[in-house]
Every structure is written in C-alpha cells, then in structure tokens.
Structure 1
C-alpha cells in the first residue's frame, strides 16, 4: 500500500489536545453551511476524519482558533471535491465557480451567499482576517485567489489532455495544494505576523515552496491508487512518471520518494541559515519569534501533519468521494 511508504520527515508528530472536542462541531458547521447535503456525505466526512489533520496542522490551536482552522479545512475539502468529475474538466465553468468565491475577497457585499461554498468561505474568511494587519490580509487574499483560480488551470489541462513535466506540474500544484492559506492561518491563530520583507525572497520563501512540493509529492504517493482508480494521471506525479518515463509503479514511487527526501534536506539546510538572515535584515526579537513560529507551527507541522494523516485516512482507500 502506498500509505506505508516511508519518507525522510524528521519532525515530531504533534496534535491539538482539543481535536475530540472540536470534531462534532466541525461536521455540524459543514452541515449548517450546506457542505454536507446528504447522509452519505456526512458519513464520508466522519470516516475520513479531516479534524485529525487540522489538529496536526495546528497543534497549538485550541478553542475558537481550532474551530476556525477546522472550518478552513472544511472549505478546502469541499472546494477540492467540488471539481471532481466533469466540472473539473471545464475551465470556463471552473473559473466561474472560482470567481463567485473570489468576490468575497474584493467585493463581499456583492457575493452571492445563497451559494453554500460562497457563504461558508465568507464566514471563514471574515473570522480569519479579523484583527490582522493589512499586509497579512493582502498576502492571505492573494494566496486564496491563486488557490481558487488554480483549479481552472487544472481544468484546462484536463480538457486539452495536457501532460506536464514534473517541474511545471509542481509549480501548478503549489497554487492548488493549499499550503499557503494553512500557514497564513498559523499566524492568525497565534496572533503574530511575519515581517513582509521576509516574503521578498530568500530562505523563508524557498522553504515554503519546498513545503508545498513535499506535501504534494507525499500526497501523490499516498493517493496514487485512488487517482489511478479515477483514470486521471495528469495531476499525480507518480502516474505522470509512469506515463511519461515508462516507469513501473514501484520505480515511480521510489523516484518521488527521492524528490521528497532531497527537498527535506534542502529545507533543513535553509532553516539553519534563517537566524543569520534575520540578523542581516535587522529583525527585532519579536519579529524573529514570528519567523520561528511560522516555521515551527506552520511549515513543519503542515509537512508532518500531511504525512501522518495521509498514512491513516480512509480518503485514499476508495476510488472516489460521494457526490456532493
């Protein structure tokens, strides 16, 4: 089973102490916003237990902050599954769906909140942005827009049967894998802000890109049987290598594992250089604590949390999710 493949991820497993408390409320919020319209969808959501991955992504979160993180993941899960099937092969319709949600970011008064995913996103986004500095809100909104729009690019590739090489594939998946909104939310949960100049380039940006690649590649290995069952090889690196490089399944998995392990070593090397970079940018002690928190409770936990959850979830053991 691909879920048994080991990767070099030398970070401790962590989880919020309030996952059990938040789990029923997580499902109830999705039901209240129309994201689980059938008993089958409710049962599936409970079975895959995305509450656990939220607790692993944000082990420092409790109370309302954990609830907020749960709601973000609920939206992720719904939005991703929304484009399964024929809709995910129509770039015009996919772009239209994305624009309805993006309107919340720019013209919230005009957003059509009769649409369940629009209303759910609006609720989650307003609570996320509350009290955060303008630079954070602008960065977070930009990252959300890239995430939401990225599915239209994927749909265009599916429509044209466009086979991407691995570097281009990873570049696109950095948009749609959702790491940036998750690590942005880590700042909101702990009420700090990474100095904007840290995102102008350098170690932290490279580490974020590497985290996105690692989450994508690990996810591809763990979900390969599910994706192969759908017959969609365009957006899974294992299946792409099988198709483009004529590798066997074990050979392709081994190649992807090597990509992950190489990126993790680079991530650790860049992390070692962060204190020197912070000193060079004359960051205050508080700003350096924010950078450290972004790495420890953001990048590291999203990498490890994705790996741990993917090893156990039932989401990757069935060919497809129930229709929403």
Structure 2
C-alpha cells in the first residue's frame, strides 16, 4: 500500500483536457502507434489529461503536442523497449533508436518512411517547429538522445536479468523517465525561451534534476504494483533498494518515500532562493517544474495505467502536507549529492518560503484530491 505522499503544490488542469485526450486517441490511430493491443490500452490512460495537468495555463496547441508525444514515448517504451524483441538486445535497440533520433533531428531525411513510430515522430517535429525556436528544438533532440541512451542501458540489465546499484539507477532513472524531454515544451507552451545563462546555471540545472527525481520516484511508487505483477523484467526503485540494501518491500517503500521527500523539500527551498533574483522567464520555468511535479502525481494516482482496475493497485487518493524527511543532509547517492551544495543552509529565503508553504498547505488541504476534470485553469 502506498500511503498519501507529500505534495506542496495545488492541482490544476487545462480546460481543453477532454478535447486533447480525444485528439490524441485519433492521432495514435492515424499513425498506428504501437501494436493494436498496446494502442487500445494507451488511449485509455488519460494521457491528454496528463498533458493538461503539466501545462494547465499553456497554449492548447502545445498541450496537444505534449499529449501526442507522451503517447509516442509510451509506444516506444512499452512496445519497443520493455515488451518488444529489442528490449533484451541493447546494441540493436540503440541502433534502432538512433535511426529514430535522426528523424527527430532532420525529419526530411528519406529514412523509415513506412515506420509508424518514425512517421509519428516526423509529425511531432514539424508541429514543434511551429512553436519552438531552433535552440529549443535542439535541446528537445538532445534530451531525446539522453532518453535513448538510458533505455539502452536498461536493456543491458534486462538482457542479464541484473539489478543495478542505487547510484547507477538514480543517475539513469532521471533520464529514462523522459522527464527532461518535456522541459522544452514547458517553455514553448508559455511562449518564451529561457536564456542560457539562467537555464544552464548550476542551481537551475539542479532544480530541474530534482524535479526529474521526484517525478520518477513517484512514478516508481505508483507503478510498482503493475510492474511487479507482469512476470517481465522491470526496474524500479523499490526493487533496487531491496536488492542493494537488503530491505523488505515495505522498508524499501518507506525509504523511497523519505528520499523523494528530502529532495522535494530541498527543491522547494531552492526555488524560493532562485526566485529572489530570477527573471520573469525563470519564474515561469520554476512554476512549470512545480506544475509538472504535481501533474504527474495527480495523473499517477488516477490513470488506469497505474490503478490497473482488473487487479487494483492500492494507491492513495489524496496527498499529505507533511514530508516524512526534512533533513538538509545530502542523500547517500553520489550522483545527486551535489544538489545540496547549491543552496546555503542559512539562506534567508528558506525562512520566507516556510511561511509561504504554511499558507499554501492551509489553502491546499480542502483540495487534496486530484483536481476534478472540470476545474478551472490556474494561472502559472
């Protein structure tokens, strides 16, 4: 049983969510994404709602692109990597993904013209060109490359049935969750481009990685029931903690929740610190990271993808306003321990943010459940 987990942010959803979900179903059918069985499952997972929660105040067209792109990613991840023939052949998988990457980078190339995933990716790229700058498109392709490399690493473990150690898993999980691929769309959705001196600063990069971590750890908590019952090889933080630290599933669950709580509280403090001198664009970027975290949480506890009605998962239907771990000490994970160095412990913004969060918790308590699908859009 996954208990209610800490979430300091309010739920929100774009008012176009039903139309986006419907159009994504039509898009998946038009491009034959995945096998018929996989596609029929994916279109019931409310992926349009997920996109609408990530960009509740964004351009409707970009929300639609994001929804189609997330479904495309699931088509690759579920059908191509986890359950497909290439899922245990990392070399061949990386070669196939590299060909898709070429299509993403240069959609005009005469390659994979009869391949549904390639054709869907071409369509996505041409649509992204309408809303993204060349720099944003290049970052999207680079992030997609990171994702492809990480699923190749996962395929290597799948081929041997091995479980990585916690440090390697953490490093690769923040990429194989494909969270970084979404970030350029957060900017496109609000019609701005964050300047490199802000986006690429150590502290802002740390904030983005913390968001990846929280989203992916939450996904592992919500997906563990489904993954552990498929009979197929899977990687999940609970399994990694059981293997690397000799924990029971219950102990591993408690440990994983404490880890994400410690990172999320650091993320809250860091965002408060960054906002004190941030440009309007950076403030929007940070707000979008927060909305991405909360949107993934609301979708994770409500989508058929994780609730698995035929074999119901014991997931929470609400969130709590108290973290289980508020320590300001770094996690014992070398790959991410540096995050704690970007924020001075005595930073005055910490105290300021504590007051803001106290008020936010009070305002959030009555709306702890996921926002109803008719909720009004919240301005980021």
Equivalent in the alignment of 2:142: 142
Instruction: Please state if 1:174 is matched with 2:174.
Output: yes
User: Shift of residue 92 of structure 1?
Assistant: 1.7
- Greater mean deviation of Cα atoms: 227-236 or 267-276: 227-236
Q: SS at the partner of 2:229? A: helix
Counterparts of 1:48-87 in structure 2, within 5 Å, are: 48-82=45-79, 83-85=81-83, 86-87=85-86
Equivalent in the alignment of 2:264: 264
Q: Determine if contact 2:12/2:56 at 8 Å carries over to the other structure.
A: yes
CA distance in 1, matches of 2:151, 2:309: 20
Classify 1:202/1:239 alpha carbon distance in 2 versus 1 (closer, same or farther; 3 Å): same
Equivalent in the alignment of 1:97: 96
CA distance in 1, matches of 2:234, 2:28: 30
CA RMSD of aligned residues (A): 2.1
Equivalent in the alignment of 1:133: 133
Q: Determine if contact 1:203/1:271 at 8 Å carries over to the other structure.
A: no
Q: Determine if contact 1:224/1:236 at 8 Å carries over to the other structure.
A: yes
CA distance in 2, matches of 1:31, 1:228: 29
- Greater mean deviation of Cα atoms: 232-241 or 115-124: 232-241
Instruction: Please state if 1:123 is matched with 2:114.
Output: no
User: Shift of residue 128 of structure 1?
Assistant: 1.3
1:290-321, CA deviations, whole angstroms, 9 ceiling, x for partnerless residues?
Answer: 11111112x1111111111111112124499x
- Greater mean deviation of Cα atoms: 261-270 or 142-151: 142-151
Query: What runs of 5+ residues in structure 1 fail to find an aligned partner?
Result: 279-287
Counterparts of 1:149-188 in structure 2, within 5 Å, are: 149-188=149-188
CA distance in 2, matches of 1:255, 1:167: 15
User: Shift of residue 79 of structure 1?
Assistant: 1.2
Equivalent in the alignment of 1:303: 293
Equivalent in the alignment of 1:291: 282
Classify 1:140/1:43 alpha carbon distance in 2 versus 1 (closer, same or farther; 3 Å): closer
1:86-108, CA deviations, whole angstroms, 9 ceiling, x for partnerless residues?
Answer: 42111022112201210113443
Equivalent in the alignment of 2:275: 275
| TM-score, with length taken from structure 2 | 0.76
Determine which of 8, 11, 27 is the counterpart of 1:10: 8
Classify 1:145/1:236 alpha carbon distance in 2 versus 1 (closer, same or farther; 3 Å): same
CA distance in 2, matches of 1:106, 1:311: 34
Query: What runs of 5+ residues in structure 2 fail to find an aligned partner?
Result: 311-380
Q: SS at the partner of 2:44? A: helix
1:158-206, CA deviations, whole angstroms, 9 ceiling, x for partnerless residues?
Answer: 2234422222101101111111121210111111011112233322111
Larger fraction in helix: 1
| TM-score, with length taken from structure 1 | 0.88
Equivalent in the alignment of 2:353: none
- Greater mean deviation of Cα atoms: 259-268 or 92-101: 92-101
User: Shift of residue 48 of structure 1?
Assistant: 1.8
